């Protein structure tokens, strides 16, 4: 009985993980993106005319051919970037290449074009590596696995189902979701380096982005190193510096210096 139960549960998890495909999540993201943009437009937050907006779009367009060439998802992206007038230090990408950059991150950090390319290249890589789809599928598996695990734990120890579920949920969060998110962020940093180097932007600027972020928000304490879904700023800087020798030749070649 137990063997059949575990086999059925495993089959359910694998089946659920296969439900979300690239085309479906990209289509849904495009719908959501349209709603976000419409809401921002209704609040007069769409910026098309400022120097910040023009520079952001120029960098985006210069990176675009290299992002298209790096797309191995099997589904063409309809890339789109909206500049949103907001003080937030933020930028994001949805599946399928729907992106936003907030003016706050450009203006408060006084980003150069090279630094802006690091931000945009990072977000492009999130979309290209389908991090949202992978996390969505992973969430389904973890939630089903946690539900199964809590029932087994409760039966074996006699503790309440709620307490067991809470214990399993915390273990799943700290042991699986957090490292996955930090790994995705690191992948996006490194992929962004390649895109910006191919487009002729200096990858060394990615270091200065996070140095500037440190001055705005030093997140290098112990709690952030353990609990945060994102790497600390110092961890990003260290990882980027290690990768620079492999991408600087790409940058130099793009500028005819190699």
Strands 91-94 and 98-102: antiparallel
Q: What is the pTM of this model?
A: 0.76
pLDDT at residue 190, rounded to an integer: 95
Contact 98, 30 (CB under 8 A): yes
Token pair of 226 as six digits: 């353990």
Given this model, what pLDDT does residue 120 score? 98
Question: Which residues does 178 contact at the CB level (< 8 Å), separation at least 6?
Answer: 227, 228, 229
At 7 the pLDDT is: 45
Q: What is the pLDDT of residues 148-175, one digit of tens each?
A: 444 433 344 333 344 434 433 443 343 3
Burial class (CB in 10 A: 0-12, 13-18, 19+), 155: exposed
pLDDT at 19: 62
Measured CA to CA, the distance from residue 246 to residue 15 in angstroms comes to 39
What are the strands of the beta sheet with 80-84, ordered from one edge?
A: 80-84, 98-102, 91-94
Q: Tell me which residue of 191, 198, 177 sits closest to 239, measured CA to CA.
A: 191
For residue 258, the model assigns a pLDDT of 67
pLDDT digits (tens, 9 = 90+) for 182-212: 788 899 999 999 999 999 999 999 999 999 9
Report residues of the chain scoring pLDDT below 70. 1-19, 136-180, 218-230, 258
pLDDT computed for residue 241 by the predictor = 97
């Amino acid at each position: 009985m137990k063997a059949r139960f575990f086999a059925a549960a495993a089959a359910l998890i694998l089946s659920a993980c296969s439900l979300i495909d690239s085309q479906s999540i990209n289509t849904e993201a495009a719908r959501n993106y349209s709603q976000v943009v419409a809401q921002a437009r209704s609040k007069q937050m769409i910026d098309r005319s400022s120097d910040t907006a023009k520079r952001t779009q120029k960098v985006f367009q210069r990176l675009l051919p290299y992002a298209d060439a790096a797309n191995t998802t099997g589904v063409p992206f309809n890339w789109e970037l909206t500049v949103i007038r907001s003080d937030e230090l933020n930028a994001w990408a949805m599946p399928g290449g729907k992106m936003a950059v907030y003016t706050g991150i450009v203006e408060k950090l006084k980003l150069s074009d090279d630094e802006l390319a690091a931000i945009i290249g990072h977000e492009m890589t999130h979309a290209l590596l389908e991090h949202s789809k992978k996390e969505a599928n992973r969430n389904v598996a973890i939630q089903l696995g946690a539900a199964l695990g809590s029932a087994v734990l409760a039966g074996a120890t006699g503790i309440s189902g709620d307490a067991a579920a809470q214990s399993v949920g915390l273990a799943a969060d700290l042991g699986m979701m957090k490292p996955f998110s930090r790994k995705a962020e690191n992948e996006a940093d490194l992929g962004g380096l390649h895109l910006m180097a191919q487009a002729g932007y200096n990858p060394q600027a990615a270091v200065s982005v996070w140095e500037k972020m440190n001055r705005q928000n030093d997140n290098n304490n112990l709690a952030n190193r353990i609990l945060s879904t994102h790497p600390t700023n110092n961890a990003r800087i260290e990882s980027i510096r290690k990768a620079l020798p492999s991408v600087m030749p790409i940058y130099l070649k793009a500028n005819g210096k190699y």
